[in-house]
C-alpha cells in the first residue's frame, strides 16, 4: 500500500530540490551582482536598444485591415474543402458557396464605403 | 442532400432583411437614411406575420441540430415582436445619436437572428454560435453612443464580463460533451440515461452551465454587470437587452436543462430554486433606493428574471407555459416602460426619477403608459403581470416549493412600493418645467400597443395562454 505512493514522494522531493539546485548554479555562475558594469546591466545582451518611449500608440486603422484580412482568410478556409468536393456535391453546393461569398462581398463593400481601407 | 430549406424561411428572411438594409444604406445619400428604421420595422412585422404559419410543424433538421417546433416558433415571435416594437420606438432616439443611423437597426436585426437560432438550437455548437451572434451584436449596440463615456464603459464592461461568461458556458458545454460524447441535446439525455452513476465531471459541467446561463439572464449572483450596462447603453438597446437577450437565454436554458438533464432534475431544481429566491430578494430590495430610472428598471428586470426562474424550477409543462406566458407579457411591459424613458430623455436629457415630477401634466400618455407597465410588472390584478405570476407560482406551489412562492409574493408586494413611488412623482408632484414632451408617431404607436396589450392580456389571457401551452407541450414532445 505504502510502496505504491513512494513514487509520489520521490517526485515531490526531487521537485523541491531541483529548483534550488538550478537557482544555486545560476547564482554561482552569474557575475553581474558581484561585479556590476553598465554593459552587464543592459536589458538585452545583444539586439538593438529601444529609441525613446516603448509605450507608443498604434494607429487603430491597422486593426481594420487585420479584421478585413481575417474575414477573407476564413473564407479561404471554407473554400478549400468545397473546392475539393464540389463535383460530388452538385449544383446546391455551388449556389450555396456563391451566397456565402456574396454575403462576404457585401461586408467588404460596406467596409470599403465606410473608409475602413483608407490610411488617413 | 435532402434539406427542406423552406422550413428555415424565417431565418433566411431575417438575414436578407439585414443585408438588404445594409445595401440600401450604402446606396442612398446620408439625409435619406432616416427611412431605414421604418423599413426594418415593416420587414420585421412581415416576418412576424409569416411566422404564424410555422405553428404545428414540429420537426428536426440536420440530424437534430436544428429544431422547428411550436416552442421555438413561440419564442421567435417573442423576439420579433420586441424587435419590431423597439425599432418602431427608437427612431427619434437614434437620430439624436447622430452617427451610423442605418447600422443601429441592422445590428438589432442581427441580434434578433441570433436569438431566433438560439431558440431553435438542438445542438450545443449551434447553441453557442447563436448565443455569440446575439451577444456580439449587443456589444456593438451597447457602445453605440461613441461620444458618451458611459456608453463606452458599459460596452467594455459587457464585453469583458460577457467573454468571461461565454468561457464558463463553453467549459460547461465541453465537459458535457466530454462525458457523453455527443453535442445533440436530445442524445445527451439518452447517454446520461445509460450511465450507472453520475460522473463528477458532468456535475461540474452542469454547474458551469448554470453559471453561464445565469449571467445571460442576470440572476443573482451573476447580475453585477447588468445595472451598469443597462444604465450606460442607449435606451432602446437597454429595452431590447432586457427583453430579448433574457428571453432567448431562458428559451435555450429550458431546452438544455429539461431535455438534456431530466435525469438529475432533483439536483438542479434545488440550485435554480435557490438562485430564484436570491434573485427575487436582491433585485427587489436593491431597486428600492435607486434614483436613476434606468437603474431602477435594471434591478426590477433582475427581479423579473427571478420570477421567471420559478417556472424553470417547476420543470414541467405548466412551468414552461408560465415562463413563455410571462416572457411575452414582460416584453410589452418592459418595452413600454423603456420607450417612455427613451422619449423622456430624448426631450429632456435626463434619466433621474425626480425629473419625472409632474409628467402627467406634461405628457399624459407617457405617464399613463409608464404607470400601467410598472403596475403590470408588480403584478396588480387587472393587468397582465398578475396572470403571468399566477401561472408561474401555481406551477411550483404543488411541488414542495411553497417557500419560494411566499418569497415571490412578499417581494412582489415590496416591489409595489418602488413602482408606485415613480407613479406618485409623476402624478402628485408639480413639474419644474411644464413644456409638453413631444412623442413621435412611431413611439406613440409602440406606447399605445404595449399599454393596450398589457391591459388586454390581464383581462383576457386566454389566447396567449393557449399559445404558451402549445409551446410548452412541443418542448417535451
Report the pLDDT value the prediction gives residue B116, as an integer from 0 to 100.
Answer: 93
Distance from CA of B23 to the nearest CA of A (A): 7
Report the pLDDT value the prediction gives residue B154, as an integer from 0 to 100.
Answer: 92
Grid cell in block for residue B64 = 437534430
Report the pLDDT value the prediction gives residue A120, as an integer from 0 to 100.
Answer: 62
Cβ contact B139:B235 at 8 Å: no
pLDDT at B3 over 80: no
**Interface predicted TM-score (ipTM):** 0.76
Report the pLDDT value the prediction gives residue A56, as an integer from 0 to 100.
Answer: 78
Cβ contact B82:B335 at 8 Å: yes
Residues in a beta bridge with B267: none
Residue B179 Cα to chain centre, angstroms: 31
Report the pLDDT value the prediction gives residue A34, as an integer from 0 to 100.
Answer: 67
From the number of C-beta atoms within 10 Å of its C-beta (0-12, 13-18, 19+), residue B395 rates as buried
Report the pLDDT value the prediction gives residue B431, as an integer from 0 to 100.
Answer: 80
Packing angle, helices B384-397 and B293-314, rounded to 10: 40
B252's CB contacts (< 8 A; 6+ apart) are B118, B119, B121, B127, B130, B131, B213
Report the pLDDT value the prediction gives residue A2, as an integer from 0 to 100.
Answer: 63
d(CA B441, CA B336): 14
Answer with the residue of higher pLDDT: B213 or A45.
B213
Q: Give the residue among B464, B245, B452, B462 at the shortest CA–CA distance from B333.
A: B452
pLDDT at B349 over 70: yes
Give Cα separations from B436 to A100, B294, B336, B422, B451 (angstroms).
Answer: 51, 22, 19, 19, 21
Q: B24-33, B66-75, B403-412, B417-426: which has the minimum mean pLDDT?
A: B24-33
Query: Mean pLDDT, chain B, as a whole number?
Result: 89
Q: What is the pLDDT of residues B290-304, one digit of tens each?
A: 889 999 999 999 999
∠ CA B40-B298-B380 to the nearest 5 degrees? 95
d(CA B112, CA B137): 9
Q: Give the residue among B112, B105, B115, B109 at the shortest CA–CA distance from B144.
A: B105
- Across A81-88, average pLDDT: 85
d(CA B217, CA B263): 24
DSSP designation for B351: -
Report the pLDDT value the prediction gives residue B282, as an integer from 0 to 100.
Answer: 92
pLDDT at B215 over 80: yes
| pLDDT band at B274; cut points 50, 70, 90 | very high
Picking from B11, B12, B26 by the largest number of A CB atoms within 10 A of its own CB, the best residue to mutate is B26
Fold of domain A2-113: Methane Monooxygenase Hydroxylase; Chain G, domain 1 (1.20.58)
Report the pLDDT value the prediction gives residue A31, as an integer from 0 to 100.
Answer: 65
Cβ contact B366:B359 at 8 Å: yes
d(CA B431, CA B359): 7
| pLDDT band at A114; cut points 50, 70, 90 | confident
d(CA B256, CA B259): 6
State residue B292 phi and psi, 5-degree precision.
-95, 130
Residues of A in contact with B15 (CB under 8 A): 103
For B19, which of A90, A103, A113 is closest by C-beta distance? A103
For A109, which of B1, B15, B26 is closest by C-beta distance? B26
Query: Are A113 and B23 within 8 A, CB to CB?
Result: no
Cβ contact B321:B391 at 8 Å: yes
Answer with the residue of higher pLDDT: B188 or A39.
B188
B458's CB contacts (< 8 A; 6+ apart) are B376, B381, B382, B383, B384, B385, B386, B387
* Host H or E run for residue B57: none
Report the pLDDT value the prediction gives residue B139, as an integer from 0 to 100.
Answer: 93
Whether the CB of B4 is below 8 Å from some CB of chain A: the reply is no
pLDDT at B309 over 70: yes
Q: A3-7, B191-195, B219-223, B253-257: which has the minimum mean pLDDT?
A: A3-7
Report the pLDDT value the prediction gives residue B105, as an integer from 0 to 100.
Answer: 92
Query: Are B26 and A110 within 8 A, CB to CB?
Result: yes
Sign of CA dihedral B71, B76, B77, B78: positive
pLDDT at B2 over 70: no
Q: Give the residue among B134, B160, B168, B157 at the shortest CA–CA distance from B251.
A: B134
What b/e string do you get for B300-316 counting C-beta neighbours within 10 Å, with b at 16 or more?
bbbbbbbbbbbbbbbbb
- Across B126-139, average pLDDT: 93
Q: How many CB atoms lie within 10 A of CB B296?
A: 27
Whether the CB of A113 is below 8 Å from some CB of chain B: the reply is yes
Cβ contact B335:B408 at 8 Å: no
pLDDT at B93 over 90: no
Report the pLDDT value the prediction gives residue B437, as an integer from 0 to 100.
Answer: 84
Radius of gyration of chain A (CA): 29
Cβ contact B310:B276 at 8 Å: yes
Report the pLDDT value the prediction gives residue A1, as an integer from 0 to 100.
Answer: 56
Query: Mean pLDDT, chain A, as a whole number?
Result: 82
Helix (H/G/I), strand (E/B), else coil: B60? strand
B422's CB contacts (< 8 A; 6+ apart) are B293, B296, B353, B356, B370, B374
Q: How many CB atoms lie within 10 A of CB A62?
A: 10
| pLDDT band at B253; cut points 50, 70, 90 | very high
pLDDT at A69 over 70: yes
pLDDT at A61 over 90: no
Distance from CA of A26 to the nearest CA of B (A): 40
Q: Nearest chain B Cα to A89, which residue? A: B1
Report the pLDDT value the prediction gives residue B168, as an integer from 0 to 100.
Answer: 93
∠ CA B160-B163-B164 to the nearest 5 degrees? 85
User: What's the first-to-final CA gap in chain B, in angstroms?
Assistant: 26
CB interface of A with B, residues 90-109, below 8 Å: 90, 92, 103, 106, 109
The full DSSP string for A21-77 is: HHHHHHHHH--TTTS--TTTTSS-SSSPPPPS-S-PPPPTHHHHHHHHHHHHHHHHH
Amino acid at each position: 500500500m505504502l510502496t505504491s505512493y513512494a513514487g509520489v514522494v520521490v517526485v515531490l522531493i526531487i521537485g523541491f530540490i531541483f529548483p534550488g539546485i538550478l537557482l544555486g548554479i545560476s547564482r554561482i555562475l552569474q557575475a553581474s551582482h558581484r561585479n556590476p558594469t553598465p554593459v552587464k546591466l543592459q536589458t538585452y545582451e545583444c539586439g538593438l536598444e529601444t529609441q525613446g518611449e516603448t509605450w507608443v500608440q498604434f494607429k487603430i486603422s491597422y486593426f481594420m485591415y487585420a479584421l478585413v484580412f481575417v474575414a477573407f482568410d476564413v473564407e479561404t478556409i471554407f473554400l478549400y474543402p468545397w473546392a475539393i468536393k464540389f463535383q460530388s456535391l452538385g449544383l446546391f453546393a455551388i449556389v450555396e458557396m456563391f451566397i456565402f461569398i456574396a454575403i462576404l462581398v457585401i461586408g467588404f463593400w460596406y467596409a470599403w464605403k465606410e473608409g475602413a481601407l483608407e490610411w488617413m | 442532400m435532402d434539406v427542406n430549406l423552406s422550413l428555415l424561411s424565417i431565418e433566411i428572411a431575417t438575414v436578407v432583411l439585414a443585408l438588404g438594409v445594409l445595401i440600401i444604406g450604402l446606396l442612398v445619400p446620408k439625409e435619406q437614411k432616416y427611412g431605414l428604421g421604418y423599413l426594418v420595422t415593416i420587414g420585421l412585422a412581415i416576418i412576424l406575420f409569416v411566422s404564424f404559419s410555422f405553428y404545428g410543424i414540429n420537426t428536426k433538421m440536420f440530424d437534430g441540430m436544428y429544431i422547428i417546433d411550436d416552442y421555438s416558433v413561440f419564442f421567435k415571435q417573442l423576439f420579433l415582436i420586441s424587435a419590431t416594437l423597439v425599432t418602431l420606438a427608437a427612431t427619434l432616439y437614434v437620430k439624436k445619436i447622430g452617427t451610423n443611423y442605418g447600422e443601429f437597426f441592422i445590428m438589432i436585426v442581427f441580434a434578433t437572428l441570433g436569438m431566433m437560432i438560439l431558440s431553435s438550437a438542438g445542438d450545443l455548437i449551434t447553441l453557442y454560435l447563436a448565443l455569440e451572434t446575439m451577444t456580439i451584436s449587443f456589444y456593438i449596440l451597447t457602445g453605440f453612443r461613441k461620444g458618451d463615456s458611459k456608453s463606452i464603459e458599459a460596452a467594455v464592461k459587457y464585453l469583458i464580463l460577457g467573454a468571461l461568461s461565454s468561457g464558463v458556458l463553453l467549459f460547461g458545454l465541453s465537459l458535457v460533451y466530454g462525458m457523453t460524447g455527443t453535442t445533440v441535446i436530445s442524445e445527451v439525455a439518452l447517454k446520461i440515461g445509460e450511465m450507472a452513476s453520475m460522473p463528477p465531471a458532468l456535475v461540474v459541467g452542469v454547474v458551469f452551465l448554470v453559471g453561464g446561463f445565469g449571467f445571460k439572464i442576470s440572476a443573482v449572483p451573476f447580475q453585477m454587470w447588468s445595472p451598469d450596462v443597462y444604465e450606460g447603453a442607449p435606451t432602446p438597446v437597454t429595452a431590447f437587452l432586457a427583453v430579448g437577450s433574457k428571453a432567448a437565454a431562458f428559451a435555450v436554458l429550458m431546452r438544455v436543462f429539461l431535455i438534456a438533464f431530466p435525469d438529475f432534475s432533483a439536483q438542479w431544481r434545488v440550485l435554480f430554486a435557490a438562485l430564484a429566491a436570491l434573485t427575487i430578494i436582491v433585485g427587489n430590495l436593491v431597486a428600492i433606493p435607486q434614483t436613476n430610472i434606468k437603474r431602477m428598471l435594471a434591478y426590477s428586470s433582475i427581479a423579473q428574471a427571478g420570477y421567471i426562474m420559478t417556472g424553470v424550477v417547476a420543470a414541467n409543462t405548466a412551468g414552461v407555459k408560465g415562463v413563455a406566458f410571462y416572457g411575452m407579457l414582460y416584453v410589452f411591459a418592459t418595452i413600454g416602460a423603456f420607450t417612455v424613458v427613451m422619449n423622456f430623455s430624448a426631450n429632456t436629457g435626463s434619466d433621474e426619477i425626480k425629473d419625472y415630477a409632474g409628467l402627467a401634466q406634461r405628457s399624459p400618455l407617457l405617464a399613463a403608459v409608464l404607470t400601467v407597465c410598472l403596475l403590470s410588472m408588480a403584478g396588480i390584478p387587472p393587468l397582465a403581470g398578475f396572470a403571468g405570476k399566477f401561472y408561474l407560482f401555481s406551477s411550483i406551489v404543488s411541488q414542495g416549493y411553497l417557500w419560494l412562492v411566499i418569497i415571490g409574493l412578499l417581494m412582489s408586494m415590496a416591489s409595489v412600493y418602488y413602482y408606485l413611488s415613480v407613479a406618485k412623482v409623476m402624478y402628485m408632484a408639480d413639474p419644474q418645467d411644464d413644456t409638453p414632451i413631444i412623442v413621435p408617431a412611431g413611439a406613440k404607436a409602440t406606447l399605445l400597443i404595449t399599454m393596450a396589450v398589457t391591459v388586454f392580456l390581464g383581462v383576457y389571457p386566454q389566447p396567449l395562454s393557449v399559445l404558451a401551452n402549445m409551446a410548452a407541450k412541443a418542448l417535451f414532445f
